[in-house]
Structure 1
Amino acid sequence: MKYRTHHLHGLLIVDKPLGVSSMDVVRQVRRAGGHCKTGHAGTLDPLATGVLICCLGKATRSVDQLMGLTKVYETDIDLSAFTNTDDAEGEREPIEVPEPPSIDAVRAALDALTGDIEQTPPAYSAIKVGGQRAYKLARRGDDVSLPSRIVRIDAIDLLEYDYPHLRLRITCGKGTYIRSMARQIGEALGTGGYLTALRRTAIGPYTIDRAVGLDALPQPIESEHLLPIPTPTSPEQSHAS
Structure 2
Amino acid sequence: MDNLEGKILAIWKPKGPTSHDVVDMLRQKTGLKRIGHAGTLDPLAEGILVVGFGRQATRELGKIIVKDKEYQANIVLGIVSETFDAEGPLKEQKITAIPSLAEIEKIIKEKFIGLIEQVPPAHSALKIGGRRAYKIKRSGEEPKMKTRKVYIEKIKIIDYSFPSLTLHISCGTGTYIRSLAHDLGQELGIGGYLAGLTRLRVGEFLQNQALTIEQVVKEYKI
Q: Does structure 1 residue 103 correspond to structure 2 residue 97?
A: no
Could you tell me which of 63, 68, 71 is aligned with 1:70?
A: 68
User: What amino acid maps onto 1:179 in structure 2?
Assistant: R
User: What amino acid maps onto 2:203 in structure 1?
Assistant: G
Q: CA deviation at 1:96?
A: 1.4
How far apart are the structure 2 equivalents of 1:171 and 1:54? 21
8 Å CA contact retained: 2:71, 2:170: yes
How far apart are the structure 1 equivalents of 2:165 and 2:145? 27
Q: Does structure 1 residue 9 correspond to structure 2 residue 6?
A: yes
User: What amino acid maps onto 2:181 in structure 1?
Assistant: A
CA gap of 1:7–1:103, structure 2 versus 1, over 3 A, is: closer
Q: CA deviation at 1:220?
A: 7.8
How far apart are the structure 1 equivalents of 2:165 and 2:218? 39
RMSD: 1.7
1:114-133 superposed matches below 5 A? 114-133=113-132
Normalising by structure 2, report the TM-score: 0.94
8 Å CA contact retained: 2:70, 2:201: yes
User: What amino acid maps onto 2:94 in structure 1?
Assistant: E
Corresponding residue number in structure 1 for 2:208: 209
| SS of aligned partner of 1:60 | helix
1:21-32 superposed matches below 5 A? 21-32=18-29
Post-superposition CA distance 1:121-167 (Å, at most 9, x none): 00000111222111011122212220100000010010011111100
Q: CA deviation at 1:36?
A: 4.7
Corresponding residue number in structure 2 for 1:35: 32
| SS of aligned partner of 2:39 | coil
How far apart are the structure 2 equivalents of 1:197 and 1:215? 23
Corresponding residue number in structure 2 for 1:230: none
How far apart are the structure 2 equivalents of 1:6 and 1:36? 15
1:171-210 superposed matches below 5 A? 171-210=170-209
Q: Which runs of 5+ in 1 are unaligned?
A: 226-241
1:116-155 superposed matches below 5 A? 116-155=115-154
8 Å CA contact retained: 1:32, 1:221: no
| Percent identity between the two aligned chains | 38
Q: Which runs of 5+ in 2 are unaligned?
A: none
Larger mean Cα displacement after TM superposition, 186-195 or 6-15: 6-15
Normalising by structure 1, report the TM-score: 0.86
Alignment: residue pair count: 220
